Amino acid sequence: QDLVMVGRTHGVHAEPITLGLKFALWYAEFQRHHSRLLQARKAVAVGKLSGAVGTFAHLPPEVEADACARLGLSPASISTQVIQRDRHAEYFSTLALVGASVEKIALEIRHLQRTEVREAEESFAAGQKGSSAMPHKRNPILSENLCGLARLLRAHALTAQENVALWHERDISHSSVERLIAPDSSILLDFMLARLTRVLKNLQVYPENMSKNLHLTRGLIFSQGLLLALIKKGLSRDAAYRLVQRPAMQVWEEGGEFAQRVQADPDISQYLSPAELTAIFDLNHYLKHIPTIFARVFGQEG
């Protein structure tokens, strides 16, 4: 919750966040997936014994209800010769959506493990080989594997949607497909979740690199705070933007500290006192509502 790092948008440094916020975001996403999986399981947990075209011509509905009850299923309210495949498409689509979130986390780890960033990385055991050719390599192979497997789940979800449209009251074009994708998708996601759990449990985190990267842009991450402070002083947004962008671009192109350039700029310092400028460059301003966010995600006890 309190481990500060830089937030990135478009891959470029934006404003301060904490590592805990990333984990809280993932937790909330998987809480939603839990609800989706329960709904998807409910959608496919139905049965039918309604006859060749769904009319109960030779068995009464009571037989279907009794058989389904014995199997822990609900009778489909209406069916043809088969349960309608929109139900199964929902299930496979849900698996693919969970897989996409697994990939989202794995991709984040891969980015954080890049040499230029190295804020976190997969654990690397003594004697482990990262590359057969380059002994120095420590590659995020587990996360890369998860990103690849997520593509299979999405492919299976698309295939399941192709199964929704059957001829009239039934054909068997769906059957051969489901024999493959049903066990494969279910087992695959189980494997992915187990592997992701292992990666997160053993994740190596480097606070010193987070701090170094946080200051890499020499204070530019505080530019929005300065912009808003000038607007509060009565400047139009466009005028304030131009005032802030000028020293910001100087830092990008010429170097130096953003705070020092701002303090030395008479067009800015005429509106903001030294104390006000110091407050703008205070990290705590950006982190003050994080406990509230955590309370929203985890409850008051979180």
Residues carrying an active site annotation: 10, 131
Cβ-proximal residues to 252 (8 Å cutoff; 6+ apart), any chain: 220
SS3 of residue 15 by DSSP:
strand
Say what the alpha-carbon torsion angle 221, 227, 230, 236 is, to the nearest 10 degrees. 170
- Sign for the pseudo-dihedral over CA of 255, 259, 260, 261: positive
Q: What is the DSSP letter of 125?
A: -
C-beta of residue 79 within 8 angstroms of C-beta of residue 47: no
3-state secondary structure 62-117: HHHHHHHHHCCCEECCCCCCCCCCHHHHHHHHHHHHHHHHHHHHHHHHHHHCCCCC
